[in-house]
Chains A and B, each alone.
Chain A
Amino acid sequence: MAKSPLAVAILGCGRIADAHAELIRGLESSRLVAVCDLEPLMAKQLAVRFGVPNFYSDFSELLRIEKPDVIHITTPPDSHLALSLQAIAAGCHLFVEKPVALDYEQIRTIVGAAAQNGRKLTVGYINQFDPAAVEMRHLIADGAIGRPIHLESFYGYNLAGPFGTAIIREPDHWVRRLPGQLMQNVIDHLVNKVAEFIPDDEPLIEAFGYWNSEARLHDDLRAMIIGKEVSAYATFSSRIRPDAQMLRVYGTKNSLTVDYTARTVVLNSHPTFPSVLGRLVPPFSQAWRQFRSGTRNVRRFARSEFHYFQGMRTLLSSFYDSILLDKEPPLPYPELLRTAKIMDRIFGQVIGKQA
């Protein structure tokens, strides 16, 4: 069994690798031993900026010399399948950035290889471990909303941001080569929240995409996902402002709203006061719940548990614990596979149709 601190290496030294390096350095259960990129200058810059002892441009060499316990794969997704299988074959546990791979079949192959070789696998579904998401799960487990029966998942995206601008500017950007293009790089965060609640293997799916002729890609999506017990509406939008991230869970007793940007969870319950008082009091009780949600965040901040990438911090910490204590990884594999399958079916209905 691996010993703490785990020896971790990062493969792929682009923008997102900075967040990984920062968080790996900040955890007691891990130490960043090496980084690797096909372009040696990129590997060197990450190593220098984060004080990493070694850098490589050859992944095989890194695996042979460093023998890391864990590999973080932060390369473009079309390389994930081959690199993941290589890392698993070398005995490494895997943290793979989303999107995990190009389609369901590739993801199934990676998950299967990890399970077969007794290696742990997790994916950068960081919103699922955001303080608000964790709090939501506690509330649901405590029966605060009864049985969930419907969800509304919203994910806003700013196409004018630095990454979006690069996609628009570069006609051969790797995001354009993904089967689901821009949506595939983003909507894991939209769909995985739904897949957590809809256990069906083959839910009914109706999806519609809006084509942006200037950017030459689909930049808005509406999808309906209907399971036997639970249904969901999923909205991805590059046009709606603010570009928030929200989840509304409707239950048989109450509903709750998770705001991932403000990191708040607010329970929407039935008015407890009779008559007109039932119309007068709710705004104040809502304000009180918002206030309490805010004060919980202040307490988290005071305890240094409110980092910008707090969800990823929690995910990493849980993942490393699962390796060190030989527990189940934080993201259940069936949930990863359901997310992948729903995404494939959405792309199948949207891509190629320039509505």
Chain B
Amino acid sequence: MRALITGAGGFLGTHTVRRVLARTPEELRLLCRSRPVPLEELRARYPQTSIRTEKGNLLSSTDMERALDSVDTVFHLAAELKGAPAEMFLNTVVGSKRLLEACSHVRRIVLVSSFGVYGTAHLRRGAMVDELTPLDKQPERRDAYSFVKLHQELLFREYQQKLGYELIVLRPGVIYGPGNASLSTRIGVNFPGFFLHVGGSNLMPLTYVENCAEAIAVAGSQFAVDTVNVVDDDLITCREYLGRYKRTVGGYRSVPFPYSAAIGLSGAVEWYNRKSRGQLPAILTPYKAAVLWKGNRFRNDRLKSIGWKQLIPTCAALGKTFDWIARDKRTTVDD
């Protein structure tokens, strides 16, 4: 396999590089926009593979042609996670288009998408979310990231018809691990001085970063299915996650807020946004609240069917993550 990993310098990318290298591809190229990936340790540890970095911008056709030259497999992880919606779209979807335009010779693509593409707002409370759950028909009502990821998926399917490559789309849930200190909005909303905890007893679709990276690496040689959700075993509730976070990291005040109240509050926010013609942004709407906090169940049968095994148990993964956040917080305070 002569593979390219996009977003190789990112939170998920750095772990994916190691999991792919563990399968000894002939050649591995790491596409990074700004931060180059240090190669010495990787080359020493995986001497059978020719490894090199490609500094490039997804929006540059020239960069894409150079990076994809003689590559047969692409692991596409790169995406803009925050910023203005138009820029997220440009850097993720239009960037993907430039990549695909240079993919005429590529045989296999693993696309890392998101759980955010599912239309969960209309599901009943506690409904199972799996690969058969319909996609969100109005992702623009949700959040920019979901909107962008859904359009990215559609683009990869469209180009698959034109170019004929094998495609597997992975949809990870909430990816956590050392290096990511943020609390998922599925648990609640951060306000200055306190955290509004809405998630309560909802299950979190968690996947530890190394486990998710393993799923991506496994998917590189398994194209029997076209879509796979990525969540770990032994999922815990938002309340358990937050409780453990507070015990390990400390210094965090949270206020429980029931789902029905969240729907009421978000209805008021949406009403005021309309009445004032956008004076305050509609950061919360009943649609967004339903997506985030109504509560669903999740399964990973299909992920296991392609040969994935959880590398790090959830309990240990949570411990590693919260210990890192606690250390990081102390370091920041000391600085």
Residues of B within 8 A of A304 (CB): 275-277, 279
Residues of B within 8 A of A48 (CB): 140
Q: How large is the interface on A (under 10, 10 to 19, 20 to 34, 35 or more residues)?
A: 20 to 34
Q: Interface residue count for B (Cβ, 8 Å)?
A: 22
Would B277 and A45 count as touching, CB distance under 8 A?
no
Would B94 and A170 count as touching, CB distance under 8 A?
no
CA distance A194 to B286 in the complex (A): 47
A to B CB contacts below 8 Å, 9 in the list: A18-B84, A41-B93, A42-B86, A46-B86, A162-B84, A162-B87, A166-B87, A169-B33, A307-B278
CA distance A295 to B140 in the complex (A): 36
Residues of B within 8 A of A14 (CB): 86-87, 90
Whether a CB of chain A sits under 8 angstroms from the CB of B97 is: yes
Residues of B within 8 A of A306 (CB): 279
Q: How far is the CB of B22 from chain A (nearest CB, A)?
A: 31
Would B85 and A307 count as touching, CB distance under 8 A?
no
Residues of B within 8 A of A88 (CB): none
Would B279 and A49 count as touching, CB distance under 8 A?
no
Whether a CB of chain A sits under 8 angstroms from the CB of B147 is: yes
CA distance A353 to B145 in the complex (A): 42
Residues of A within 8 A of B89 (CB): 41-42, 45
CA distance A137 to B20 in the complex (A): 64
Whether a CB of chain B sits under 8 angstroms from the CB of A145 is: no
Residues of B within 8 A of A41 (CB): 89, 93-94, 97, 151, 155
Would A26 and B97 count as touching, CB distance under 8 A?
no
Residues of A within 8 A of B87 (CB): 14-15, 162, 166
Residues of B within 8 A of A151 (CB): none
Whether a CB of chain B sits under 8 angstroms from the CB of A301 is: yes
Whether a CB of chain A sits under 8 angstroms from the CB of B83 is: yes
Q: In chain B between 111 and 161, which residues have their CB closer than 8 angstroms to a CB of chain A?
A: 140, 147, 151, 155
Would A169 and B86 count as touching, CB distance under 8 A?
no
- Among candidates B57, B151, B278, residue contacting A45 with C-beta atoms closer than 8 Å: B151
**Chain A interface residues (CB < 8 Å from chain B):** 13-15, 17-18, 22, 26, 39, 41-42, 45-46, 48-49, 162, 166, 169-170, 301, 304, 306-307
Residues of B within 8 A of A15 (CB): 84, 86-87
Would B90 and A22 count as touching, CB distance under 8 A?
no
Whether a CB of chain A sits under 8 angstroms from the CB of B34 is: yes
Q: How far is the CB of A3 from chain B (nearest CB, A)?
A: 22
- Among candidates A18, A22, A26, A170, residue contacting B57 with C-beta atoms closer than 8 Å: A170
Would B86 and A45 count as touching, CB distance under 8 A?
yes
Q: 6 additional contacts, CB 8 Å, given A46-B86, A48-B140, A304-B275?
A: A39-B94, A45-B147, A49-B140, A166-B87, A306-B279, A307-B279
State whether A17 and B94 are in contact (beta carbons under 8 Å apart), knowing that A45-B151, A169-B34 are contacts in the complex: no
CA distance A14 to B90 in the complex (A): 8
Q: How far is the CB of B61 from chain A (nearest CB, A)?
A: 12
Would B85 and A18 count as touching, CB distance under 8 A?
yes
Kindly report which residue of chain A lies nearest to residue B89, judged by CB atoms: A45
